[in-house]
């Protein structure tokens, strides 16, 4: 205050802003987004941690109607809840089989990376499933698997097999849903690889050709290393997508038959907001566990980004 000129207030204030403009501007620009993001994303994460320590039906406020139970919810989940076990195993199945989208996407990308007439249209038609909502994809595949009129059984019946009720069989249903999920996910990986293939260095390929590399050898030693950024993104997005899977399960089996297709995200939803009663505390504990699993991959992504930042800023 003492340093600014005492003549009148307005110009003094302006000059203070002017002098610190570069320091203040970014914060002014960040303010609205940080406020909203904190309110809707950052805060709720901590609140969920808190809620998971309570027994609470979601009515009234947590402090007056909730009952503090410490780590009881977690103890029950990890030791006495068989549905939780099933969900966790299914999450693991999703994680592993969903990764098939990456090689499948690469194969399609290699198949389509040509310059014949109409190839652009083919590329977009192959990408098409990614644009459709998972709900509609789920409906498509539910009808596709239908034991009575579904095309799937039409085909295997044609080859001479007995009809299979894929989504009605506790041992098969999860795989049936994962297959449905692979359809859009493969399309996504394909487009990443198509873009990646576009920017592969042609001189390196020529050089490798002169050295006699071709086919799979070329792919493995020359092409794939250059596609690493695409593979990285495909990996991160696929893993996170697999842990987030909810829509397909909700629409195709609603967790059934006999709860055999539940995953953590679905089980959490079911516990917190379904006809079986609102067990918010228990649900929050499931969400926290899912979050911690996910944090491993998020951490990996952030670490990689941080390494990139360090190298580009040097």
Partner 1 sequence: MFPKPIEKSSRAWQLGYQALLPLAMLLWLTPLLAVALFSIRPDADFITGNYWGWPSSFEMIKNYSMVFTSAMPRYILNSFLITIPTVIGALMLSCMTGFALGVYKFRGNLLIFFMFIAGNFVPFQILMVPVRDLTLDMGLYNTKTGLVLFHIAFQTGFCTLFMRNFIKALPFELIEAARVEGIAEWRIFWYVVLPLMKPAIAALSVLIFTFIWNDYFWAIVLTQGENSQPVTAGITSFNAQYRAMYHLMSAGSIIAALPPVLMFFLMQKHFIAGLTLGAVK
Contact of 170 with 262, CB cutoff 8 Å: no
Residue among 88, 134, 73 nearest 264 (CA):
88
Q: How many CB atoms lie within 10 A of CB 78?
A: 14
Residues linked to residue 68 through DSSP beta bridges, in sequence order: 54
Please report, as residue ranges, which positions from 80 to 119 form the binding site for partner 1 (by CB under 8 A): 110-111, 113-116, 118-119
Least distance to partner 1 from the beta carbon of 80, Å?
Answer: 21
Least distance to partner 1 from the beta carbon of 257, Å?
Answer: 19
Please say which residue, 71 or 135, places its beta carbon nearer to partner 1.
Answer: 135
Q: Of residues 4, 47, 63, 307, which one binds partner 1 by CB under 8 A?
A: 47
Residue among 101, 79, 80 nearest 245 (CA):
101
Please say which residue, 71 or 298, places its beta carbon nearer to partner 1.
Answer: 298
Please say which residue, 12 or 139, places its beta carbon nearer to partner 1.
Answer: 139
Dist. CA 153–CA 128, nearest whole Å = 24
Please report, as residue ranges, which positions from 59 to 78 form the binding site for partner 1 (by CB under 8 A): none
Please say which residue, 165 or 170, places its beta carbon nearer to partner 1.
Answer: 165
Please say which residue, 170 or 200, places its beta carbon nearer to partner 1.
Answer: 200
Q: With binding defined as CB under 8 A, does residue 164 bind partner 1?
A: no
Dist. CA 120–CA 137, nearest whole Å = 23
Q: Of residues 10, 33, 159, 210, which one binds partner 1 by CB under 8 A?
A: 33
Least distance to partner 1 from the beta carbon of 256, Å?
Answer: 16
Q: Which x/- pattern, by CB under 8 A, does the window 182-221 give for partner 1?
A: -x----x--xx--xxx-xx-x--x--------x---xx--
Contact of 51 with 286, CB cutoff 8 Å: no
Residues linked to residue 55 through DSSP beta bridges, in sequence order: 67
Dist. CA 206–CA 209, nearest whole Å = 5
Q: Which two tokens stand for residue 37?
A: 């993001």
Q: Is the dihedral of CA 116, 122, 124, 130 positive or negative?
A: negative
Please report, as residue ranges, which positions from 274 to 303 form the binding site for partner 1 (by CB under 8 A): 280, 283-284, 286-288, 290-291, 294, 297-298, 301-302
Please say which residue, 85 or 124, places its beta carbon nearer to partner 1.
Answer: 124
Least distance to partner 1 from the beta carbon of 24, Å?
Answer: 9
Dist. CA 308–CA 199, nearest whole Å = 19
């Amino acid at each position: 205050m003492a340093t600014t000129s005492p003549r009148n207030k307005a110009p003094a204030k302006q000059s203070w802003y002017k002098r610190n403009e570069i320091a203040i501007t970014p914060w002014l620009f960040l303010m609205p987004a940080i406020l909203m993001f904190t309110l809707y994303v950052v805060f709720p994460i901590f609140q969920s941690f808190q809620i998971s320590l309570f027994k609470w039906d979601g009515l009234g406020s947590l402090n007056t109607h909730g009952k503090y139970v410490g780590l009881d919810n977690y103890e029950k989940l990890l030791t006495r809840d068989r549905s939780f076990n099933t969900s966790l195993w299914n999450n693991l199945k999703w994680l592993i089989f969903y990764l098939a989208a990456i090689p499948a996407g690469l194969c399609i990308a290699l198949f389509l990376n040509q310059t014949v007439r109409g190839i652009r249209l083919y590329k977009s038609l192959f990408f098409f499933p990614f644009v459709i909502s998972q709900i509609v994809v789920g409906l498509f595949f539910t009808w596709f698997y239908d034991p009575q009129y579904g095309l799937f059984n039409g085909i295997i019946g044609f080859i001479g097999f007995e009809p299979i009720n894929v989504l009605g069989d506790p041992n098969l249903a999860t795989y049936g849903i994962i297959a449905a999920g692979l359809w859009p996910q493969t399309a996504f990986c394909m487009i990443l690889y198509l873009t990646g293939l576009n920017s592969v260095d042609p001189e390196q390929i020529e050089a490798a050709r002169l050295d006699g590399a071709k086919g799979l050898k070329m792919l493995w030693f020359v092409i794939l290393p250059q596609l690493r950024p695409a593979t990285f993104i495909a990996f991160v997005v696929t893993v996170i997508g697999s842990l987030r899977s909810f829509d397909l399960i909700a629409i195709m089996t609603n967790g059934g038959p006999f709860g055999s297709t539940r995953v953590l995200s679905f089980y959490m939803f079911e516990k917190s907001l379904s006809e079986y009663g609102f067990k918010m505390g228990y649900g929050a504990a499931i969400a926290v566990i899912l979050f911690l699993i996910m944090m491993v991959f998020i951490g990996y992504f952030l670490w990689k980004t941080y390494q990139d930042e360090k190298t580009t800023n040097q």
